C-alpha cells in the first residue's frame, strides 16, 4: 500500500527485550523491514538487545521523537519498565498482543517470573484502553484486548519468514533417531520446558499409551528449560512412571537436528494450557507430521482443521487419539495434506498483507490530522 | 481449504477403556489407570519441598521496588507494604518448612501491589525515604545460606592485610587514574581499595550487602552504601561511572546474576570506562581446594575464558586477562636432585598456578549501549 498523499509518518517499535531465535524478536525485526518498505520511519527501542542483534535496537530511554507525526507500537510478552515508559508517553500507541502466560502457571515453579508476568498483565490493562489500535496474533489474543477495552482491533498473524524456520533434516541425526525407535511409535513435542506447555500431561498420556497401546513407544520433548524446578519435577515424573528408557528431554537443538526430530516422529502431541500462537504446528505441517492437540487458547485457531483437536486431555483421550492417527492411514494422509495447504495461509506474504491492511489506514488517519 | 472429518474420539476412548478393562480383569494391569496416571504429577508436586518461599519474597520485594521507582504511588500504602515485607522476612528466617501464615501474607501483599499500581499520587521525599528502606530490606532478607558470622569477622580471619595486599590495592587503584568518571567498588568489603582510590584523588563509592563492613568503611572515612551491587547498578543512570570494580564477587553469584552483572556494568559505564573483575583462578587446584571452598557463601567458580567471553559478548573491547597471587616457592613441589624435572614442573603448573585472575574490559568510545 502506498503512503496516502505522500505524507510522512513514523511508527517506532517498543519491546521489553529484543531476543534472537525467538518468535516475538523475529516478528519485531520483520515489522521493521515491512514498515520501512511501506515508507514509514521506524526504529526498535528496548531495554536489552541480544548480542547477536547488536546495533538493531536502541535503549528506550534514548527515544526522541522527530518532527514527523509519530506513533508507538508496543509488543507484549512480559512486564517491565519499557511498558511503563510507553504508557507515560504522549504519542498515540498501537498494542501488538503476543499474549502473556498467566502468572499462576509459574507461581509454584518460578515466583520471580510469575511476578513479572503479573506486572505484564497489569501494564497491558493500563496500555490498552487508550490505544488507537490493538493487534493480536490470533483471534484469541485480539479478544483479550477487546475485553480490556480496546476500541479497534485486528488479527495480524506473527510475521514469520518460513524460509528462516523450515530447514532440511540432518541425515546423520535422522538415521540415529530412526534407529533409536526400535520399531515402536514415536511421539514428539517441541517447545520450552514450561508449565504452561504442560509437558507433564504429555508424559502422563504417553505413559497410558505405553501401557495400553504400544509398550515400546518413545517420546521426545525438544526444547530448552525455562524453569529448573519444573524440569526437575518432569524428571521425577518420568522416573516415578518408570519411563527413563522411553522419554528423552532433548534440550535445545540446532535447525538440522530439529528438522530430523520432526521427520523421525509419528505425531506431534500438543497439550499446552496456554499458547499465544504455537509455531511448532507450522513446522510439523512442513515436515508432514500429523498433529494431535488440546483445543485451548490460540492452539485451536492455529491448528484449525489441520489436526485432531481434543476437548479434554485425559490420558485415555489423548492416547486414543494418537492411536487412531497412527493406525488410520487414510486419516493420517488427510491430516498431512490439509496441513501442507494450511501452511500457505501463514506465509510471510499473507501476514505482511494482514499487517499492512490493519495498520496503514490508522497511520494515514494520523498523518492527515 | 476442505475440512477433514474429525475422528470419533469418544468411540475410540470407549474402545480403549474396554481393552483396559479386559486387561484389568486378566490381572495384567492395575485398576483405575487413567485416573491414577492423571493424579501422578500432582503427587510429584505435593511431595516436592517448599521451594520458592524465599524466591517469592524476593520477587515481591522486586515489585515493591518497581512501585517505589515508578511514577509516584500512594506512599502510605507503600509504607504498609514495606513493613509487611520486613515482617515476612522475619517469618521466613524463623521457618524451615512451608509456612501458611507467610503464604497468606504474601498473597495479601501481592494484592496490595496491584492496588498500588492503580492508585497514583505521592510526595517525592517520602518515596525517597521508602526507597532507602527497600534497599535495606533487601540486604536483610535471609539468604539461602545465612552464615552465623559477619563478613567483617570472616575477612579479618581469612584475608591477608599485609604489605603485599596493600601493594596490590595500590596497583589496582592506579588502573583507574584515567577513567572518565567516578569509580564504583561492588563488594567493597572493609574498603581497602576505596582508601587507596581516595589517597590518589579518585572519586569512588563502595557498595556491600553486609552492614558490618560498610560500617568499617565509614569509620575509615570512605563512602560506602549498604545495598546489593546489582540493585545499585539497576538504579544508576546510563554512563554514570568511569570505572567499576568487583573483587572476589562474581563467584558469589549464580550464572544468571553473573551475566546480568556484566551486562549492567556495560550500560552503566561511560564510553571509555573500565571494568575490572577479580575472582579465584579455577586452573589452580590449590586455589580451588583452599580459597574457593573456605568461603561457604561461594556459589560457583568462574573460568577465566568464560568471563573473558562474557565481557566480549557484552560489548567490552578490548578484554584482557591477568593472573595474580603467585604462590611462594615454599608451597610448590621441589625437584628431586639437581637438574630440572619436566613432570614436577608440569605438576606445579596444574596444582599451584596463580590463585586469582582479573579480567579487564574497556567500553569502546563509540559505543552507545
3-state secondary structure of B220: coil
Mean predicted lDDT score pLDDT of chain B: 78
Closest to B17 (Cβ–Cβ): which among A306, A316, A323? Answer: A316
The set of cell numbers assigned to A235 is 524428571
Identify the residue whose cell numbers are 630440572.
B340
Q: pLDDT by residue (tens digit) across A11-68?
A: 999 999 898 767 899 899 999 999 999 999 999 999 888 877 888 999 998 999 988 9
Most A CBs within 10 A among B28, B32, B44, hence the mutation to make, goes to B44
Distance from CA of B319 to the nearest CA of A (A): 16
Query: Could you tell me if A268 and A289 are in contact, meaning their C-beta atoms sit under 8 angstroms apart?
Result: yes
Is A121's Cβ below 8 Å from some Cβ in B? no
Grid coordinates representing B80? 504498609
Q: Which residue has the cell 549501549?
A: B369
Scanning the structure block, which residue is given the C-alpha cell 517506532?
A: A12
pLDDT at B283 (0 to 100): 83
Q: Could you tell me if B43 lies within 8 Å of chain A, comparing CB atoms?
A: yes
DSSP-derived letter for residue B32 is S
Residue A69 CA to residue A161 CA, distance in Å, equals 30
Which among B16, B23, B45 has CB closest to A233?
A: B45
pLDDT attached to residue B350: 76
- Is pLDDT above 80 for A136? yes
Q: Look at B19 and A59 and tell me if their CB atoms are within 8 Å.
A: no
Average pLDDT of chain A is 91
- Three-state DSSP class for residue B2: coil
**Looking at residue A2, what is its pLDDT?**
41
B356-362/B319-324 β-pairing = antiparallel
Return residues 227-256 of B near A (CB < 8 Å): 238
Cell of B89: 522476612
CA quadruple B146, B150, B151, B155: dihedral sign: negative
Domains of chain B by range and CATH?
53-140 (no CATH), 151-362 (3.40.50.150)
Contact assignment for B34 to A314 by CB distance below 8 Å: yes
Flag if A204 and B40 touch (Cβ within 8 Å): yes
Q: Write out residues 266-325 of B within 8 Å (CB-CB) of A.
A: 267, 313-315
Rounded CA separation A240/A201 (Å)? 14
Residue A7: pLDDT above 50?
A: no
Q: Which residue has the cell 628431586?
A: B336
CB-based contact A7:A368 (threshold 8 Å) = yes
Q: Which of B358, B201, B368 is nearest to B275 (CA)?
A: B358
Residues 6 or more apart whose Cβ sits within 8 Å of residue B104: none
**Cβ atoms of residues A129 and A140 within 8 Å:** no
At residue B226, the 3 state secondary structure works out as strand
Terminal CA-to-CA distance of chain A, rounded, Å? Answer: 19
3-state SS track over chain A: CCCHHHCCCEEEEEEEEECCCCHHHHHHHHHHHHHHHCCCECCEEEEEECHHHCCCCEEHHHCCCCCCCEEEEEEECCCCHHHHHHHHCCCCEEEEECCCCCCHHHHCCCHHHHHHHHHHHHHHHHHCCCCCEEEECCHHHHHHHHHCCCCCEEECCCCCCHHHHCCCCCHHHHHHHHHHCCCCCEEEEECCECHHHCHHHHHHHHHHHHHHCCCCCEEEEECCECCHHHHHHHHHHHHHCCCCCCEEEEECCCHHHHHHHHHHCCEEEECCCCCCCCCHHHHHHHCCCCEEEECCCCHHHHHCCCCEEECCCCHHHHHHHHHHHHHCHHHHHHHHHHHHHHHHHHCHHHHHHHHHHHHHHHHHHHHCC
The three cell numbers of residue A9 are 509518518
**Cβ-Cβ contacts under 8 Å for A273 (sequence gap 6 or more):** A105, A196, A197, A198, A294, A296, A297
Burial class (CB in 10 A: 0-12, 13-18, 19+), A66: exposed
Task: Check B6 against A316: CB less than 8 A apart.
Answer: no
Helix (H) or strand (E) holding B246: strand B241-247
- Count residue pairs from A and B with Cβ separation < 8 A: 136
Best to test chain B binding among A238, A308, A320 (most B CBs inside 10 Å): A320
CA distance A204 to A271: 11
Contacts of B85 in chain A (CB under 8 A): none
Give the model's pLDDT for residue A118: 87
Residues in chain B: 369
Angle (deg, nearest 10), helices A315-327 and A199-212: 60
Name the β-bridge partners of A336.
none
- B1·A338 Cβ contact <8 A: yes
Per residue in A261-312, pLDDT (tens digit) is: 999 999 999 999 999 889 899 999 999 999 999 999 989 999 999 999 998 8
Find, among B239, B160, B245, B169, the residue nearest to B207 by Cα.
Answer: B245
Q: Which of residues 290-309 of A touch B (CB under 8 A)?
A: 305-306, 308-309
> Of A254, A295, A304, which is closest to residue A275 (Cα–Cα)?
A295
**3-state SS, residue B245:** strand
Inter-chain CB proximity A233 and B2 less than 8 Å? no
Q: What is the rounded distance in angstroms from the CA atom of residue A159 to the CA atom of residue A165?
A: 12
Question: Is the minimum CB–CB distance between A321 and chain B shorter than 8 Å?
Answer: yes
- What is the pLDDT confidence band of residue A5, given thresholds at 50, 70 and 90? very low
Residue B296 buriedness (CB in 10 A; 0-12 / 13-18 / 19+): exposed
Count Cβ atoms below 10 Å from residue B96 Cβ, excluding itself.
Answer: 9
Residue in A closest to B115 by C-alpha: A122
Residue B334, pLDDT score = 77
Residue A241 touches partner B, C-beta closer than 8 Å: yes
Can you give the pLDDT at residue A277?
A: 87
Residue B128, all three cell numbers: 525517597
Residues of A168-186 as b/e, b for ≥16 C-beta within 10 angstroms? ebbeebbeebeeebeeebb
Residue A45 main-chain phi, psi, to 5 deg: -120, 135
Taking CA–CA distances from B4, the nearest residue in chain A reads A305
Residue B364 bridge partners (DSSP) = none
Below-50 pLDDT ranges, chain B: 49-51, 144-145, 368-369
Cell numbers linked to B354: 596463580
Q: Would you call B144 an interface residue with chain A, using a CB distance cutoff of 8 Å?
A: no
The answer to whether the Cβ–Cβ distance between A334 and B1 falls below 8 Å is: no
Chain A contact set for B110 (CB, 8 A): 118
Q: Quick one: which H or E segment has residue B267?
A: helix B255-268
Instruction: Say yes or no for a CB contact (<8 Å) between A237 and B40.
Output: yes
Three-state secondary-structure class, residue B5:
coil
* Cα B167 from chain centroid (whole Å): 29
Amino acid at each position: 500500500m502506498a503512503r496516502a498523499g505522500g505524507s510522512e509518518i513514523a511508527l517506532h517499535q517498543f519491546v521489553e527485550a529484543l531476543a534472537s531465535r525467538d518468535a516475538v524478536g523475529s516478528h519485531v525485526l520483520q515489522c521493521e523491514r515491512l514498515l520501512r518498505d511501506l515508507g514509514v520511519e521506524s526504529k526498535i527501542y528496548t531495554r536489552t538487545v541480544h548480542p547477536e542483534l547488536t546495533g538493531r535496537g536502541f535503549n528506550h530511554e534514548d527515544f526522541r521523537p522527530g518532527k514527523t507525526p509519530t506513533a508507538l507500537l508496543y509488543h507484549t510478552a512480559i512486564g517491565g519498565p519499557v511498558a511503563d515508559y510507553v504508557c507515560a508517553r504522549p504519542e498515540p500507541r498501537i498494542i501488538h498482543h503476543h499474549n502473556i502466560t498467566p502468572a499462576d502457571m509459574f507461581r509454584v515453579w518460578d515466583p520471580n517470573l510469575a511476578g513479572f508476568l503479573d506486572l505484564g498483565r497489569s501494564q497491558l490493562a493500563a496500555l490498552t484502553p487508550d490505544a488507537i489500535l490493538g493487534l493480536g496474533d490470533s483471534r484469541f489474543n485480539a479478544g483479550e484486548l477487546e475485553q480490556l477495552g480496546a476500541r479497534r482491533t485486528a488479527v495480524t498473524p506473527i510475521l514469520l519468514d518460513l524460509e528462516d524456520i523450515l530447514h532440511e533434516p540432518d541425515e546423520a541425526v535422522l538415521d540415529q533417531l530412526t534407529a533409536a525407535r526400535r520399531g515402536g511409535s514415536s511421539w514428539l513435542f517441541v517447545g520450552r520446558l514450561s508449565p504452561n506447555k504442560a509437558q507433564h500431561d504429555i508424559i502422563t498420556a504417553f505413559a497410558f499409551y505405553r501401557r495400553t497401546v504400544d509398550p515400546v513407544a518413545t517420546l521426545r520433548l525438544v526444547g530448552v528449560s525455562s524453569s529448573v524446578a519444573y524440569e526437575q519435577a518432569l524428571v521425577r515424573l518420568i522416573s516415578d512412571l518408570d519411563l527413563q528408557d522411553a522419554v528423552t528431554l532433548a534440550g535445545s537443538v540446532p535447525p538440522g537436528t530439529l528438522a530430523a526430530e520432526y521427520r523421525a516422529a509419528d505425531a506431534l502431541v500438543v497439550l499446552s494450557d496456554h499458547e499465544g500462537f504455537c509455531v511448532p504446528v507450522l513446522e510439523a505441517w512442513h515436515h508432514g507430521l500429523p498433529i494431535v492437540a488440546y483445543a485451548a487458547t490460540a492452539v485451536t485457531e492455529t491448528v484449525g482443521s489441520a489436526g485432531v483437536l481434543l476437548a479434554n486431555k485425559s490420558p485415555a483421550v489423548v492416547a486414543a487419539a494418537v492411536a487412531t492417527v497412527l493406525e488410520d492411514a487414510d486419516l493420517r494422509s488427510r491430516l498431512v495434506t490439509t496441513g501442507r495447504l494450511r501452511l500457505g495461509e501463514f506465509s510471510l506474504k499473507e501476514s505482511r498483507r494482514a499487517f499492512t491492511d490493519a495498520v496503514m489506514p490508522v497511520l494515514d488517519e494520523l498523518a492527515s490530522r | 481449504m476442505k475440512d477433514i472429518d474429525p475422528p470419533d474420539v469418544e468411540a475410540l476412548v470407549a474402545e480403549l477403556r474396554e481393552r483396559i478393562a479386559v486387561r484389568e480383569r486378566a490381572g495384567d494391569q492395575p485398576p483405575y489407570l487413567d485416573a491414577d496416571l492423571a493424579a501422578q504429577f500432582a503427587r510429584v508436586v505435593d511431595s516436592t519441598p517448599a521451594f520458592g518461599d524465599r524466591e517469592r519474597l524476593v520477587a515481591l520485594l522486586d515489585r515493591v521496588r518497581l512501585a517505589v521507582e515508578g511514577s509516584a504511588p500512594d506512599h502510605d500504602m507503600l509504607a504498609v507494604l514495606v513493613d509487611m515485607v520486613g515482617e515476612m522476612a522475619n517469618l521466613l528466617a524463623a521457618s524451615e518448612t512451608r509456612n501458611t501464615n507467610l503464604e497468606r501474607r504474601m498473597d495479601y501483599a501481592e494484592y496490595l501491589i496491584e492496588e498500588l499500581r492503580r492508585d497514583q499520587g505521592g510526595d517525592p521525599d517520602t518515596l525517597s525515604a521508602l526507597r532507602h528502606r527497600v534497599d535495606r530490606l533487601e540486604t536483610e532478607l535471609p539468604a539461602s545460606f545465612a552464615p552465623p558470622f559477619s563478613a567483617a569477622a570472616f575477612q579479618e580471619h581469612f584475608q591477608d592485610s599485609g604489605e603485599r595486599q596493600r601493594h596490590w590495592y595500590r596497583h589496582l587503584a592506579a588502573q583507574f587514574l584515567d577513567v572518565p568518571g567516578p569509580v564504583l567498588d561492588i563488594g567493597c568489603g572493609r574498603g581497602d581499595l576505596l582508601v587507596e582510590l581516595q589517597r590518589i584523588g579518585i572519586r569512588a563509592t563502595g557498595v556491600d550487602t553486609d552492614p558490618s563492613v560498610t560500617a568499617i568503611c565509614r569509620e575509615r572515612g570512605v563512602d560506602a552504601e549498604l545495598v546489593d551491587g546489582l540493585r545499585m547498578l539497576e538504579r544508576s543512570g546510563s554512563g554514570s561511572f568511569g570505572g567499576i570494580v568487583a573483587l572476589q564477587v562474581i563467584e558469589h553469584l549464580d550464572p544468571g546474576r553473573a551475566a546480568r552483572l556484566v551486562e549492567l556494568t556495560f550500560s552503566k559505564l561511560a564510553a571509555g570506562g573500565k571494568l575490572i573483575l577479580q575472582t579465584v583462578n579455577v586452573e589452580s587446584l590449590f586455589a580451588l581446594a583452599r580459597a574457593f571452598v573456605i568461603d561457604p557463601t561461594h556459589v560457583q567458580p568462574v573460568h577465566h575464558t568464560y568471563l573473558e567471553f562474557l565481557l566480549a559478548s557484552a560489548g567490552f573491547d578490548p578484554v584482557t586477562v591477568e593472573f595474580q597471587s603467585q604462590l611462594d616457592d615454599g608451597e610448590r613441589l621441589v625437584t628431586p636432585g639437581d637438574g630440572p624435572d619436566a613432570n614436577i614442573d608440569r605438576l606445579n603448573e596444574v596444582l599451584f598456578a596463580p590463585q586469582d585472575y582479573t579480567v579487564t574490559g574497556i567500553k569502546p568510545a563509540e559505543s552507545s549501549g
